[in-house]
Copies of this chain bind each other. A is one copy, B any other.
Amino acid sequence: MQIDESIELKFAQQLRKHRLRLTRARKEIFQKLYETNKPLSIQDIASITNGVHFVSVYRSVDLMQKAGIVKQVPQGFKNLFELSDLFRPHHHHATCKICAASKEIHDARIESLMNTLTKEAGLLPTEHHFELYGICQNCLSAVEDSKPIQRED
């Protein structure tokens, strides 16, 4: 997939703004996040990225995060990353607890409520994490809610 010209430019500018260099590794990471278009773990990124050492992925994702290029998406117990709102429309995720399939949610109601609540709590809003979980149609049949928890043995 070819990245849009203006997106690429913005990427370069954002790096520069934070005195970060536009390296092959970072281009590669950005490209993969862009075309995959869903939250990925560091490991995920390292595995699909071409010739970029996983340590560099850690370091670059961290810096790109601080530079506002990438944002963290804590999903359940995993820390995932995707491109920030600078590069794609702000959204949230609804994820199936069972099959982990995840769907994007775009809804203005969320944002306004978030801001209101954050301010009401006496904070200057910077960000919010918002993840919905449920069970999708496909998986519903396999679940019995009242059953005691499963052990692995």
A residues touching B (Cβ–Cβ < 8 Å)? Answer: 17-19, 63, 66-67, 72, 74-77, 79, 94, 96-97, 103, 105, 107, 109-110, 113-114, 117-137, 140, 148-150
Contact = CB atoms under 8 A, between A and B. Distances in A.
A77 B76 contact: no
A30 B82 CA distance: 36
Q: Which of A72, A96, A126, A136 has the most CB of B within 10 A?
A: A126
Copies of this chain present: 2
A91 B123 CA distance: 17
B128 A105 contact: no
Nearest to A103: B121
Given A17-B148, A109-B113, A134 B130 contact: no
Given A77-B79, A128-B130, 12 more contacts: A17-B148, A74-B75, A74-B129, A94-B118, A117-B132, A121-B134, A122-B137, A123-B134, A124-B135, A128-B133, A129-B131, A129-B133
